[in-house]
Each structure stands twice: as structure tokens, then as C-alpha cells.
Amino acid sequence: MSQTAKLTGFADEASRDLSKQIAATKAIGWSAISTRMIGGHNIHEMPEAEFDQAADQLDAAGIQVPEFGSLIGNWGKTIDSDFAVTLAEIDRAIPRMQRLGTKLVRVMSYAQQPWGEDQHEQERFRRLREIVGRFADAGLTAIHENCMNWGGFSADHTLRLVDEVPGLKLVFDTGNPVFQRDRSKPEPYPWQDPLEFWEKVRDHVVHIHIKDCLNPVSDDVEPEYTMPGEGKARLREILGDAKSRGYDGWIAIEPHVATVFHAPDPDAVDWQQCYDSYVEYGKRLEALWNALP
């Protein structure tokens, strides 16, 4: 079993400027970025000339891109949104992934409807089968994240997706369960247990996102994000289990410590604080992993 983790991160939390994303990555001692935002655009929404320039810059810096953090089916899209938007995102993402040698693309299962309303499950399954199939035809793997989407309602919901969508693999986010109710359990719907979620889905997980946070005071309040190992995400137990089982996939940091990625006003963000905290977060995560037996 390898004791060396393959570590990457959403470096757009350090800066939206690619040169600074690269600098932050190298300051940690890493050589990989999970691409999401560069400048003002998601990686598959960038103008062609800007993407080409970014791809050349990543190549010149010797940076790997193991994952695309796409907008496909994400929490910002409802299940009744125009599916043509999703298909266009796929069509733009595939050649860009191929250009960068990226094999994994993060997708979701569309935004959660208020609990108790019709979730249109069959339409979600239909769309995900199409999404997964199109990427698979290009030799790429769509990985579903347990975020604020249908699959994030519980581990059981995620497993239902795996059953309904052939070829679907998972990216497990350690922090997301901490601020989501477990809809597989009776009212009053407790907060999800990250370790329990992990243990149920781990056989399908090929990628891990690292967030840590505290339970929010209520459902409509953003949680307080912490440095890795200081919140309720049960990181040491989850990563210890992954390590003991010989997990050899990538582990990506998504800190949210200095600013939540989807902050309403990026211009008001203290980007130096973001840069510094991103570097610190990466170093702490690597130390946590290395300290595990």
C-alpha cells in the first residue's frame, strides 16, 4: 500500500488568476490542480482563446489536471431546467478535458427540491444516464458529488443513483454531510454522519474532496468551515479508513475557509487571505494524511 497521497485542490480558492493558482500549488509542494474557475469563467465556459492560453500555461508549469469541477447538473440548476444547456456544457468540456489529459469530471444530480415536493427522480436518472454515457463514449469518467443535489439527500440516495445510472462513479466530499439532513431517516431528520455516508458509498468512490466544517445552527445558515481535522467531517477516520483499504485515487482540497467558492461578491474577497489559507490548508491536509498509520 502506497503511503504517498495524490493531492490536488481547487486552486481557484487561492486566486482566480491562473498564475497565482499555480504559485499556490507549488508553494504547497504539489503539481496538480482540480480546475474550476479561471478568471471569471468555469473551465468549460471560458472563451476558446483564453482556454488555449490557460492550457499552455498549465503545461509550461508542469501542472496536472486530474479533475474538471464542472457546472453540469449542479446545485444551481433545477431538474426542470433546459437539458440542452447541460448537453452544451458536455460538448465543451470533453475536448478541453482531452486537451489537458483530464479523466474525471465532477457532475451532480440537479438541485434539491424542497423536501416533500416531487423530486422528479426518473428525469434525474434519465439525464444522468445521458451525461455519463456521453463522457464514457469519449473515454472519460463522470463522478457524482454528494452536494446540495438529489444524490446528497442521503447515502441511500447516492446508492440509488449508482444503481440507476450504469457507469456512474462517485467523488465523496467529506464536509457536505455535516450541513445536510439525512433524508433516509425519520423526522426530525438528523444531520448526516460523514463517516456513515463514506462507509456506505466507499466502494464506488474514485475521488475525494476535502472540506471540514461545523454543523450549522440551522438549515438556512452557512456552516463555519475549519482547517482540516478541526470540524465535524471526521476526516481522520475517513482518510484513515481509505488509507488502510489502499485507496489510490486523488484527494482534492476545497477549503472554503477564507471564502465560500460561490461567494456573492468575489471583488469583496481578501484574496491574499485566500491564497495564504489555501497554502496552509494543503500543508495541513498532507500532514494529516502522512500522520495516519
- Residues 241-271: tens digit of each pLDDT: 999 999 999 999 999 998 655 566 666 788 9
Residue 217 in any domain: the answer is yes
Residue 50 in any domain: the answer is yes
Residues paired with 262 in a beta bridge: none
pLDDT at residue number 226: 97
Residue 1 in any domain: the answer is no
Q: How many residues does the chain have?
A: 293
- Mean pLDDT, consecutive 10-residue stretches, the chain (293 aa), reads 81 97 98 97 98 98 98 97 98 98 98 97 98 98 98 98 98 98 97 98 98 95 95 98 97 87 68 95 98 96
Burial 22-57 (b: 16+ CB within 10 A, else e): bbbbebbebebbbbbbbeeebbbbbeeeebeebbee
pLDDT at residue number 215: 97
Residue 126 in any domain: the answer is yes
144 within 8 A of 171, measured Cβ to Cβ: yes
Number of domains in the chain: 1
213 within 8 A of 235, measured Cβ to Cβ: no
Residue 249 in any domain: the answer is yes
Residue 165 in any domain: the answer is yes
CATH number for the domain spanning 168: value is 3.20.20.150
Q: Can you give the residue range of the structural domain that contains 200?
A: 6-291
